[in-house]
């Protein structure tokens, strides 16, 4: 999913590269061609996404089929929102993945709004996961704000796909806590709903769990937080030093037609 920077970090991307990307610098994954989240990294096996919601699901299924054909035993996993799940490509991609038994995992982050459109205006079924039997694939609905549930469910789905068990659709139920972008003040979401969901903040819940079970001491957490801030500041400073791309290699990696019907 093109906006999920967390997944880039989970796949081992350095924050420095993400910052350089946002600043349009030569060290960003697109080498300064794009100042946004549309980036790939073949070394990290991250396939670049474009903005058009849903359109990349068949592409991700293609990556899964490619892995199968090449005997790589890799699984393609991607995300989409509840709104993106209403796009035709969602259905075509999942149906095709089911037909060819592709090693493919699709997580729908159902945060109950697609911009200002609530889910009641998106679909007639009670849940998105109810579509899974229609495709003939595995499906599971989970608490998207429970990091352990998300981890365990994804892990099981990836293992199943790796062993030839085919695609899985996971519906992770969560809440959109802020507007679509900084220009959007989120006026269309009732405050009571936001207050209710604020209590279920996944980071705070994970932190409370770790503290209650004794895995995390407050002193260690504060130390880790301070180290993280220091690390991030250093990565930003490094990105600021990255040069802007040169104009003479502007068309490198760009495919173009020479005309004449070619
Ligand atoms: C095909 C298409 N239509 C419209 C947009 C503009 N757009 C970008 S994000 C968004 C809302 C998406 O909602 P959802 O899929 O629920 O994801 P969320 O932002 O809630 O995570 C829209 C309408 C787009 N990128 N692609
Ligand atoms: Mg949404």
pLDDT at 144: 98
Query: Exposed, middle or buried: residue 202 (CB in 10 Å: 0-12, 13-18, 19+)?
Result: middle
What residues sit around ligand 2, an ion, with C-beta below 5 angstroms? 81-82, 111, 114
Q: How much is the average pLDDT of 231-259?
A: 89
CATH number for the region 5-249 comes to 3.40.50.970
pLDDT at 261: 54
Q: Is the per-residue pLDDT at 260 higher than 70? A: no
Cβ–ligand 1 distance for 114 under 6 Å, the answer yes
Q: 19-61 pLDDT, tens per residue?
A: 999 999 999 999 998 888 889 998 999 988 888 999 999 999 9
Q: Please name which of 54, 44, 46, 34 lies closest in space to residue 254, comparing C-alpha atoms.
A: 34
Cβ–ligand 1 distance for 39 under 6 Å, the answer no
Cβ–ligand 1 distance for 51 under 6 Å, the answer yes
Q: 201-223 pLDDT, tens per residue?
A: 999 999 999 999 999 999 999 99
Cβ–ligand 1 distance for 86 under 6 Å, the answer no
DSSP string, the chain: -TT-HHHHHHTT--HHHHHHHHTT-TTSTTTTS-SSS---BGGGTBPP--SSTTTTHHHHHHHHHHHHHTT----EEEEEETTGGGSHHHHHHHHHHHHTT--EEEEEEE-SEETTEEGGGT-SSS-GGGGHHHHT-EEEEEETT-HHHHHHHHHHHHHHHHTT---EEEEEE----S-SSTT---TTS-HHHHHHHHTT-HHHHHHHHHHHTTS--HHHHHHHHHHHHHHHHHHHHHHHHSPPPPGGGTTTT-----STT-
Region for residue 46 given its phi and psi (left: phi exceeds 0; alpha: psi -120 to 50; beta: otherwise): beta
CA of 181 to the centre of ligand 2 (A): 13
Cβ–ligand 1 distance for 60 under 6 Å, the answer no
Tokens of 107: 């997580």
Res. 255 pLDDT band, cuts 50 70 90: confident
Q: 65-108 pLDDT, tens per residue?
A: 999 999 999 999 999 999 999 999 999 999 999 999 999 999 99
Q: How much is the average pLDDT of 220-243?
A: 97
Q: Is the per-residue pLDDT at 262 higher than 60? A: no
Q: How far apart are CA 166 and CA 74, in angstroms?
A: 12
Determine contact, residues 81/108, Cβ cutoff 8 Å. Answer: yes
Q: Is the per-residue pLDDT at 256 higher than 80? A: no
Cβ–ligand 1 distance for 84 under 6 Å, the answer yes
On average, the pLDDT of the chain sits at 94
Q: 113-164 pLDDT, tens per residue?
A: 999 999 999 999 999 999 999 999 999 999 999 999 999 999 999 999 999 9
- Ligand 1 pocket test: pick from 4, 49, 55, 84 the residue with the most ligand atoms within 8 Å of its Cβ: 84
CA dist list (Å): 187 to 119, 177, 193: 16, 11, 12
Res. 253 pLDDT band, cuts 50 70 90: confident
Q: Is the per-residue pLDDT at 199 higher than 90? A: yes
CA of 176 to the centre of ligand 2 (A): 7
């Amino acid at each position: 999913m093109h906006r999920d920077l967390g997944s880039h970090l989970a796949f081992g991307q350095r924050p420095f590269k993400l910052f350089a990307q946002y600043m349009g610098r030569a060290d960003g994954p697109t080498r300064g061609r794009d100042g946004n989240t549309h980036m790939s990294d073949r070394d990290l096996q991250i396939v670049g996404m474009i903005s058009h919601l849903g359109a990349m699901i068949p592409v991700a299924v293609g990556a899964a089929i490619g892995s199968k054909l090449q005997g790589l035993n890799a699984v393609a996993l991607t995300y989409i929102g509840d709104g993106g799940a209403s796009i035709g490509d969602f259905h075509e991609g999942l149906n095709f993945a089911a037909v060819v038994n592709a090693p493919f995992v699709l997580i729908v982050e159902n945060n109950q709004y697609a911009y200002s459109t609530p889910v009641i205006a998106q679909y007639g079924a009670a849940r998105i996961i109810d579509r899974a039997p229609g495709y003939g694939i595995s499906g599971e609905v989970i608490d998207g704000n429970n990091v352990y549930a998300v981890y365990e469910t994804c892990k099981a789905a990836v293992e199943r796909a790796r062993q030839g068990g085919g695609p899985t659709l996971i519906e992770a139920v969560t809440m959109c806590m802020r507007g679509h972008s900084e220009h959007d003040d989120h006026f269309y979401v009732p405050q009571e709903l936001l207050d209710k969901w604020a209590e279920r903040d996944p980071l705070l819940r994970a932190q409370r769990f770790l503290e209650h079970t004794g895995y995390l001491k407050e002193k260690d957490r504060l130390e880790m937080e301070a180290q993280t801030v220091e690390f991030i500041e250093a990565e930003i400073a490094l990105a600021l030093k990255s040069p802007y791309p040169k104009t003479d290699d502007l068309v490198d990696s760009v495919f173009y037609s020479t005309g004449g019907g070619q």
